[in-house]
């Protein structure tokens, strides 16, 4: 059975297990679903006063909101890549003894990360919704295509990293380095304009245009067609590649 | 009789353990492939019940994985007349963070039981059989090992499957549950028309199988009646 067919056939199951995992995480503490949002709020409140002076002087954006969106965006990417190392190791026995395919766990994790992103986003949006309901609604509507692209990006990242981790036993040692480089190469903290002439190279980082699309939607209420089409182009290239990689990925031998 | 399963010249080896550094090394510097299956030719006809015997590491589980299409052979072909239901795992496919009810629901969706029964009926049947009504909202990781096995057994040993591939079945909790489980397992095995059962329990094999295969070092070294296979295995493993 090919991977796309398997994804569709099992979608009710991985949608449910991803959702159930997020519910089970939330049930562990009184603050539950508020935790991801709270941790980002804490980070922003510490970093914003500091970095706004260094990285964002004379910007058209409100740097606190700029940073907030960057960190919300990055948290899903970061967790997806980090978890692709651990969650696969945890399911090795099942992968070797049932017909469940690795892509099942990737899809489950994408659902889990997406729910976490929604919870964090709602944590910030709901209070402001009472103040500027129409503005926020407009931003949310504009950002819907970018949310969909984001979900597919999470899938691509998980697939590529999963393939590398199961194919090369020592690749996992490089994952923290990759994450660090990716974080610094993506304008999460800094404004692209601060890069000067190097700014044009950001287009080669698939994560940068998508982040810009989100920021334009929420901060300027503007649908960035450039960001949208560049992101779609990346999807057209990487979705088939990631499906191919995941179908070729070996099942891990537990004895390794 | 029509064949249910046919293996023609099947070879299998687990992939080499590659690493970034090994990409630079010639192939002979890589670790050796393990658990290989070599030159297996086998036909199991419809309705046959086959016992798989062999010591640890002889290749029984790998052969069951191949027959169940979990693994693909390195070379050779495997034909099965209908999908083989594997009963090889000893754990849940879901994280143990999920509650008992959530775990049952995940299996309900994965096995597509919604096509044949309502979720409520399925949930009740699993909870009734496993006797876990009082623990249904507990995460699976907080269940005792016995309770966990009861739940797993109740979920997996269910339904009817044409061809079954079963590996060394697990213990099933306390005495009271054990008797109930034996009855369920007996019915479950009877419903299948073709069975491949790997076990070290002579009585279980005698109850359900008539043909025996003995494996050693990834090869079938004996193929005959169950009694002859058991004798062969005892002689050669002594």
**A168 min Cα distance to partner chain B (Å):** 4
Which one of A13, A99, A253 has the shortest CB-CB distance to B106? Answer: A13
pLDDT tens-place string over residues B201-215: 888 888 888 999 999
CB A136 within 8 A of CB A42: no
Residue A98 phi/psi, 5-degree rounding, is -135, 175
B74 at the A interface (CB within 8 A)? Answer: no
A206 vs A225: CA distance, rounded Å = 15
Which one-letter DSSP state was computed for residue A98?
S
B93 vs B107: CA distance, rounded Å = 9
pLDDT tens-place string over residues B8-60: 999 988 776 677 776 666 555 555 555 588 889 999 998 899 999 988 888 88
Cα three-residue angle A182-A120-A112, rounded to 5 degrees: 75
Per-residue pLDDT of chain A (256 residues; tens, 9 = 90+): 688 999 999 999 999 999 999 888 877 777 777 888 888 889 888 888 888 777 765 666 788 888 888 998 998 899 888 877 776 666 777 888 888 888 898 899 999 989 988 888 888 888 877 777 777 888 889 989 999 999 999 999 989 988 888 888 778 888 889 999 999 999 888 888 878 888 888 888 999 999 999 988 888 888 999 999 999 999 999 999 999 998 887 776 444 4
Q: Please name the residues in contact with A12: beta carbons below 8 A apart, sequence gap of 6 or more.
A: B109, B114
> Tokens for B131?
């006797």
**B94 min Cα distance to partner chain A (Å):** 7
* H, E, C per residue of A182-212: HHHHCCCCCCHHHHHHHHHHHHHCCHHHHHH
Chain A residues with CB inside 8 Å of B106's CB?
13, 16-17, 20
Q: With an 8 Å Cβ cutoff, are A20 and B14 in contact?
A: no
The CB-side HSE value for A147 (13 A sphere, CA atoms) comes to: 16
CB atoms closer than 10 angstroms to residue A245: 19
Residue A108 burial (10 A CB sphere; 0-12, 13-18, 19+)? buried
Q: Please name the residues in contact with A83: beta carbons below 8 A apart, sequence gap of 6 or more.
A: A109, A113, A158
Q: Please name the residues in contact with A88: beta carbons below 8 A apart, sequence gap of 6 or more.
A: A102, A105, A162, A165, A166, A252
Considering only CA atoms, which of A163, A79, A66 is closest in space to residue A114?
Answer: A79
**Helix (H) or strand (E) segment spanning residue A213:** helix A207-215
> Tokens for A161?
């990293």
**A171 min Cα distance to partner chain B (Å):** 7
Residue A24 pLDDT: 86
The contact set of A with B (CB < 8 A) is 10, 12-13, 16-17, 20-21, 23-25, 90-91, 93-94, 96-100, 104, 167-171, 174, 250-251, 253, 255-256
Q: Please name the residues in contact with A122: beta carbons below 8 A apart, sequence gap of 6 or more.
A: A37
B59 vs B220: CA distance, rounded Å = 9
A124 vs A137: CA distance, rounded Å = 13
Average pLDDT, integer, range B106-116:
87
Which one of B89, B95, B109 has the shortest CB-CB distance to A13? Answer: B109
User: ipTM of this predicted complex?
Assistant: 0.83
Q: With an 8 Å Cβ cutoff, are A96 and B65 in contact?
A: yes
Place of tokens 């027959």: B67
A248 vs B190: CA distance, rounded Å = 37
Residue A33 pLDDT: 75
Residue B99 pLDDT: 92
Interface test with B, best of A21, A32, A89, A97 (most B CBs within 10 A): A97
What percent of chain B shows pLDDT beyond 70? 89
Q: For chain B, what is the radius of gyration of the CA atoms?
A: 20
Higher pLDDT: B200 or B52? It is B52
Interface test with A, best of B24, B70, B80, B82 (most A CBs within 10 A): B70
The CB-side HSE value for A31 (13 A sphere, CA atoms) comes to: 8
CB B74 within 8 A of CB B80: no
Q: With an 8 Å Cβ cutoff, are A98 and B139 in contact?
A: no
Residue B169 pLDDT: 63
Residue B157 phi/psi, 5-degree rounding, is -85, 75
From residue A204, give the alpha-carbon distance in Å to each of A69, A185, A188, A197, A207.
Answer: 21, 10, 16, 14, 9
Return the minimum-mean-pLDDT range out of B106-115, B122-131, B159-168, B222-231. Answer: B159-168
Considering only CA atoms, which of A249, A78, A69 is closest in space to residue A154?
Answer: A78
Task: Tell me the whole-structure pTM to 2 decimals.
Answer: 0.85
Residue A254 pLDDT: 40
B156 vs B130: CA distance, rounded Å = 12
Q: Is residue B105's pLDDT more than 90?
A: yes
Mean per-residue pLDDT of chain B: 84
Query: Highest-confidence range of A44-58, B128-142, B157-171, B174-188, by mean pLDDT?
Result: B128-142
Q: In what order do the strands lie in the sheet with B49-54?
A: B84-87, B163-167, B194-198, B49-54, B211-216, B219-225
CA B56 to chain centre: 15
Residue B10 pLDDT: 92
């Amino acid at each position: 059975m090919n991977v796309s067919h398997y994804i569709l056939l099992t979608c009710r199951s991985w949608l449910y297990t991803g959702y159930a995992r997020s519910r089970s995480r939330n049930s562990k503490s009184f603050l539950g679903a508020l935790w991801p949002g709270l941790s980002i709020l804490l980070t922003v409140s510490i970093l914003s006063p500091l970095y706004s002076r260094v990285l964002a002087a004379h910007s058209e954006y409100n740097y606190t909101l700029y940073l907030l969106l960057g960190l919300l965006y990055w948290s899903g990417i970061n967790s997806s890549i980090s978890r692709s190392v651990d969650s696969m190791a945890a399911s090795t026995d099942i992968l070797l003894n049932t017909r469940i395919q690795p892509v099942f766990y990737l899809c489950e994790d994408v659902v889990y990360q997406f729910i976490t992103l929604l919870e964090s986003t709602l944590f910030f949006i709901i209070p402001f919704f009472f103040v500027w309901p129409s503005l926020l609604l407009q931003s949310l509507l504009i950002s819907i295509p970018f949310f969909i692209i984001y979900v597919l990006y999470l899938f691509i990242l998980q697939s590529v990293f999963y393939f590398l981790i199961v194919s090369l036993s020592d690749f996992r040692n490089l994952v923290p380095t990759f994450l660090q480089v990716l974080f610094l190469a993506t304008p999460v903290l800094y404004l692209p304009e601060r890069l000067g002439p190097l700014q044009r190279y950001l287009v080669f980082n698939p994560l940068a245009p998508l982040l810009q699309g989100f920021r334009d939607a929420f901060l300027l209420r503007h649908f960035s067609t450039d960001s949208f089409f560049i992101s779609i182009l990346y999807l057209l290239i990487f979705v088939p590649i990631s499906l191919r990689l995941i179908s070729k990925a070996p099942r891990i031998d537990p004895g390794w | 009789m029509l064949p249910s399963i046919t293996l023609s010249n099947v070879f299998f080896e687990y992939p080499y353990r590659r690493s970034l550094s090994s990409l630079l090394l010639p192939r002979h510097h890589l670790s050796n492939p393990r658990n290989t299956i070599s030159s297996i030719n086998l036909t199991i006809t419809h309705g046959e019940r086959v016992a798989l015997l062999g010591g640890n590491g002889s290749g029984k589980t790998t052969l069951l994985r191949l027959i169940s299409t979990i693994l693909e052979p390195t070379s050779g072909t495997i034909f099965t007349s209908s999908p083989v239901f594997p009963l090889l795992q000893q754990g849940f496919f879901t994280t143990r963070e999920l509650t008992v009810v959530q775990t049952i629901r995940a299996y309900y969706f994965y096995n597509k039981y919604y096509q044949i029964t309502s979720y409520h009926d399925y949930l009740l049947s699993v909870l009734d059989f496993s006797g876990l009504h009082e623990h249904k909202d507990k995460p699976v990781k907080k269940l005792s090992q016995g309770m966990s096995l009861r739940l797993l057994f109740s979920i997996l040993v269910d339904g009817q499957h044409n061809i079954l591939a079963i590996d060394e079945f697990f213990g099933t909790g306390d005495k009271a549950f054990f008797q109930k489980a034996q009855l369920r397992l007996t019915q479950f095995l009877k419903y299948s028309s073709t069975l491949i059962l790997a076990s070290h329990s002579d009585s279980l094999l005698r109850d359900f199988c008539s043909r025996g295969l003995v494996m050693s070092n990834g090869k079938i070294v004996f193929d005959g009646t169950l009694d002859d296979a058991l004798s062969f295995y005892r002689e050669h493993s002594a």
